[in-house]
Structure formats: structure tokens, C-alpha cells
């Protein structure tokens, strides 16, 4: 039986999992949105988009990793690692970007499940002062950028 002490952590972990792998209320989860995207689509520029899909994947990955770092007590993230320069995208680089995204999600999900509800009010560096706020922000961030990915995938190439 689930401890009431861990109920909020478990709810947040469930929402993180749904928003990433499936079952999200808002529409396709991140991995669902990426499931049918090939290398050419992931690396192309469209008229309506500032970023490529692979750029968004790397950006989401960066912030999942930053959340882990901040929850573990680290405060500095390297802003140069966010939005890395893009060249021509290879099949290998696209596969690696997807694997890194999956690994970053798994790290945060595991870290979250190891927390007690009491930790949710701990302060963390960044835009929101608590672990809870950081996690809710990650959910919002992932949903926003997943929506961008869906839109870019539907647009014709320039």
C-alpha cells in the first residue's frame, strides 16, 4: 500500500511519465510526438519555426538534466550547453539525441521517485524556489516544447 507520505511525489512522477511516454491529457506525450519523426524531419528548418526538432529535443534534454542537478543540490548549469549549434543532422546524431533525451527523463523520474514529499518544499536554485515548483515547471516546459515539435513536424520545409 502506498504511503500517504509519498503520495504527492508519486503523483508528480506519474505526471512526468504520462507527459513523456503517453497518457497525457494535453495531447501527444513527448516520445509519442517523436515516434514517427525521421532524421530529415528532425533536422529541417521550416518557415514558421525558429528551431529544429532536434534542437528542441536537445533543449528538453538539457533542462531535464538541469532539474536533476538542481534537485541534487547543484546550482550552476552551463548555458552554453543549451541550444547547441547545429550542423547537418546524421542518422547517428538523431538516434543519439533521442537516447540522451530518454536517459535524461529516466534519471529525473528515478530521482523523483527517491524523494519524500517533505523534499518538495526544499529550495532549489533557478526560476522557482522549490523542488515542487521546479518539477511543475519541467512538466510545463516539456508540454510546451512537445507542442512545438508537433507543429514543426506538420509544416513544410523551407
Domains in the chain, CATH or no CATH each: 4-154 (1.20.120.450)
Contact status, residue 33 vs residue 149, Cβ threshold 8 Å: yes
Pick from 157, 119, 126: nearest CA to 9? 119
Contact status, residue 54 vs residue 43, Cβ threshold 8 Å: yes
pLDDT, the chain, mean: 90
Residue 42 has pLDDT above 90, yes or no: yes
Separation of alpha carbons 32 and 150, rounded Å: 10
pLDDT of residue 82: 87
Cross-strand partners of 130: 123
pLDDT of residue 86: 76
Separation of alpha carbons 113 and 107, rounded Å: 10
Residue 1 has pLDDT above 50, yes or no: no
- Tens of pLDDT along 65-124? 999 999 988 767 778 788 877 778 999 999 999 999 999 999 999 999 999 999 999 998
Q: What is the pTM of this model?
A: 0.91
Residue 125 has pLDDT above 90, yes or no: no
Q: Which residue has the higher pLDDT, 2 or 33?
A: 33
Amino acid at each position: 500500500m502506498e504511503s500517504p507520505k509519498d503520495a504527492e511525489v508519486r503523483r508528480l512522477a506519474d505526471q512526468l511519465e504520462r507527459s513523456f511516454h503517453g497518457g497525457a491529457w494535453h495531447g501527444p506525450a513527448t516520445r509519442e510526438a517523436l515516434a514517427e519523426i525521421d532524421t530529415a524531419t528532425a533536422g529541417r528548418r521550416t518557415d514558421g519555426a525558429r528551431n529544429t526538432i532536434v534542437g528542441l529535443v536537445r533543449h528538453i534534454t538539457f533542462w531535464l538534466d538541469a532539474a536533476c542537478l538542481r534537485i541534487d543540490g547543484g546550482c550552476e548549469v552551463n548555458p552554453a550547453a543549451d541550444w547547441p549549434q547545429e550542423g547537418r543532422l546524421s542518422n547517428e546524431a538523431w538516434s543519439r539525441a533521442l537516447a540522451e533525451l530518454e536517459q535524461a527523463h529516466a534519471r529525473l523520474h528515478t530521482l523523483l521517485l527517491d524523494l519524500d514529499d517533505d523534499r518538495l518544499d526544499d529550495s532549489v536554485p533557478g526560476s522557482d524556489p522549490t523542488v515542487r515548483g521546479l518539477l511543475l515547471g519541467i512538466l510545463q516546459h516539456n508540454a510546451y516544447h512537445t507542442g512545438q515539435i508537433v507543429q514543426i513536424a506538420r509544416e513544410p520545409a523551407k
